[in-house]
Structure 1
Amino acid sequence: MSDVLAEWGLGRDTDTAETVRLVVSELVTNAVQHTFGLSPTFTVDLRLERDERLRIGVTDSHPRWPQRLPAAVQQDNGRGMVIVRWLAAECGGRLSVTPTEEGGKTVWIALPWTAPVQT
Structure 2
Amino acid sequence: MADRQEASVTLPSDPASVSAARRYVTDVVCGWGLPDGTDAVDTLRLIVSELATNAVQHTFGQSPTFTVDVRLERDERLCVGVTDSHPRWPRRLPAAVRQDNGRGMVIIRSLTAQYGGRLSVTPTEEGGKTVWIALPWTVPVQG
Letter of the 1:5 counterpart: V
Shift of 1:117: 1.1
Shift of 1:25: 0.4
Shift of 1:51: 5.5
Q: RMSD value over aligned CA atoms?
A: 1.3
Would you say the 8 A contact 1:51–1:117 is kept in 2?
A: no
Q: Does residue 62 in structure 1 map to residue 100 in structure 2? A: no
The unaligned stretches of length 5 or more in structure 1 are none
Residue number in structure 1 paired with 2:15? none
Q: Percent identity?
A: 76
Residue number in structure 1 paired with 2:5? none
Q: Does residue 104 in structure 1 map to residue 128 in structure 2? A: yes
Q: Select which of 22, 26, 33 maps to 2:57.
A: 33
Residue number in structure 1 paired with 2:45? 21
Would you say the 8 A contact 1:7–1:118 is kept in 2?
A: no
Residue number in structure 2 paired with 1:6? 30
Shift of 1:113: 0.3
Equivalent position SS for 1:28: helix
Q: Select which of 20, 40, 45 maps to 2:69.
A: 45
Per the normalisation by structure 1, the TM-score is 0.93
Letter of the 1:87 counterpart: L
- CA–CA separation in structure 2 for the residues paired with 1:23 and 1:34: 16
The unaligned stretches of length 5 or more in structure 2 are 1-24
Residue number in structure 2 paired with 1:95? 119
Q: Does residue 83 in structure 1 map to residue 83 in structure 2? A: no
Equivalent position SS for 1:55: strand
- CA–CA separation in structure 2 for the residues paired with 1:59 and 1:13: 27
Per the normalisation by structure 2, the TM-score is 0.78
Q: Number of aligned residue pairs: give it.
A: 118
- CA–CA separation in structure 2 for the residues paired with 1:4 and 1:49: 14
- CA–CA separation in structure 1 for the residues paired with 2:102 and 2:70: 25
